[in-house]
Amino acid sequence: MAARWSSENVVVEFRDSQATAMSVDCLGTHAVLSGRHFLYMVNLEAPSDPPRKIGRQSKWDVGTVQWNPHRSEAHVFAASSNQRVDLYSWRDGCGEAHTSLLGHTRVISDLDWSCFDSELLATSSVDTYIYIWDTRDTRKPTVALSAVAGASQVKWNRKNQHLLASSHDGDVRVWDKRKPNTAVEYVAAHLSKIHGLDWHSDNEYIFATSSQDNSVRFWDYRQPRKYLNILSCQVPVWKARYTPFSNGLVTIMVPQLRRENSLLLWSTLDLNSPVHAFVGHDDVVLEFQWRPQKEGSKDFQLVTWSRDQTMRIWRVDPQLQKLCVSDMVEDLMEGMSLTVESEKFMSSQEPESQQSVGPDTDNLQDPDGGHQDLAAGSGLAQTLQQEFSLVNLQIRNVNVEMDAMNRSCVVSAHFGSHQVHLVVKFPAQYPNNAAPTFQFTPPTTIPSAMKTKIQK
């Protein structure tokens, strides 16, 4: 079970809402709860205040609701019910539906706004079509993607503006909206239905799928035949999404007992057990979303909505975030370390000692004709070859390949769903007058922030 668990910081009950969907706006000021007769607008700065209402007339529940993620369009959100999507505006405490998107012939299963273009909205349906709409002209979709099976999920890529993915039973298709006739890649991800699909926030090639088959799988769509890693669970997984901070994943399981309605936080670097559990809901968790960080704050807030008709807001402080970070950086630095003592020794050598080292120090001989150990008496190296001999190669998950002839070293590692491939090159003037250079090469998948930390 989880190493830690916590209760919510805020809990608010909306007993009469009967809401089936929830979304948090990109400013972090409002959450919308979607009921059959009303949309409830909750002020997240004062969640206990009575919510404002937007009336709706439909015999269908709202399937999915999502705010536009762009600050310029932060007042707009989309809500799907049956075969239509309604676009709403919320300004100055008042809201109304201003446009409807009509085109699907079966139930709409999912919708997703592009994080690059504030006007583009993707919708998926049981009718086997994925439509891309331009909200400036809503008479018909601008792009239609056709699959053989109905789609349960659609998600825009977070790093590549042209790519999106859709799930169909147990399969995933990756699409390029510029080439709508056929998917650019096909991934047979699971043998059972996929309930959740989420792109990695830092790597355009990686996504996670959660399924009825009791697992979450991590994929690089360039290698569609084999998943990168798997999180095996005891029950089906409804949702699995990456966190806004590095190396985290939050899952919702299908509860087998009424009391098992926790959200679990995992480190993608070590999927053996969850690092935290968010415990408190009395019924199935229907939705969870992250509230944007406030300026100057290191805390994140997780907002959840459950069938128990309560909204809960959980504080995720830096200490909790650190549980998702393994010792990968330290392991890598240890793997490429040439030992602190050796560096200190070289930088503190006297000029005479430096001058006595000729251009071919590896072949210096002592008076008896044998090779002279320049580090004798100190146990410290003076040449690159000798430094390499001091490197500790017995490091978990890290492989180091050293090439003294070409004055280079390759450090590779595999942690969870992440891979690292780092090339270190040593100039001829190293270590006295030049520093080594570091370059990450494919198939490295770690986020930019971690690359920067390693290079420091």
Averaged pLDDT for residues 57-62: 91
Q: Can you list the positions of beta strands (E) in 136-183?
A: 143-146, 153-156, 163-168, 171-176
Would you say residue 419 has pLDDT above 90? no
Q: 128's torsion region: left (phi>0), alpha (psi -120 to 50) or beta? A: left
Burial code of 234-243, b = ≥16 C-beta within 10 A, e = fewer? eebbbbbbbb
Kindly report, residue by residue over 234-278, the tens digit of the pLDDT: 899 999 999 999 899 999 998 666 667 899 999 998 899 999 999
Calculate the dihedral angle through the C-alpha atoms of 440, 445, 446, 452, rounding to the nearest 10 degrees: 30
What CA–CA distance (Å, rounded) separates 132 from 161?
13
Q: 182's torsion region: left (phi>0), alpha (psi -120 to 50) or beta? A: beta
- C-beta of residue 203 within 8 angstroms of C-beta of residue 448: no
What CA–CA distance (Å, rounded) separates 158 from 143?
19
Would you say residue 364 has pLDDT above 90? no
Cα-based angle 323, 324, 328 (whole degrees, multiple of 5): 105
Task: Spell out the residues 6+ positions from residue 64 whose beta carbon is closer than 8 angstroms to its own.
Answer: 21, 79, 80, 108, 109, 110, 111
Asked if omega into 141 is within 30° of 0 (cis), the reply is no
Would you say residue 63 has pLDDT above 60? yes
Of 250-264, 305-319, 388-402, the poorest mean pLDDT is in 388-402
What's the whole-model pTM score? 0.74
The overall average pLDDT reported for the chain is 85
Q: Is 269 helix (H, G, I), strand (E, B) or coil?
A: coil
Q: Determine the angle formed by the axes of helices 448-455 and 328-336, rounding to 10 degrees.
A: 40
| Tokens representing residue 341 in the block | 């003592």
- If pLDDT is split at 50, 70 and 90, which confidence band does 389 have? confident
Averaged pLDDT for residues 120-125: 98
Q: According to the model, what pLDDT value does residue 359 have?
A: 39
Q: According to the model, what pLDDT value does residue 349 have?
A: 47
- If pLDDT is split at 50, 70 and 90, which confidence band does 392 have? low
Name the β-bridge partners of 199: 207
- C-beta of residue 127 within 8 angstroms of C-beta of residue 135: no
Q: What percent of the chain has pLDDT over 70?
A: 82
Of 3-12, 53-62, 255-264, 265-274, the poorest mean pLDDT is in 3-12
Task: Spell out the residues 6+ positions from residue 328 whose beta carbon is closer than 8 angstroms to its own.
Answer: 269, 397, 413, 415, 418, 420, 446, 450
Instruction: List domains and CATH numbers for the chain.
Output: 5-322 (2.130.10.10), 328-455 (no CATH)
- If pLDDT is split at 50, 70 and 90, which confidence band does 334 have? low
- If pLDDT is split at 50, 70 and 90, which confidence band does 104 have? very high
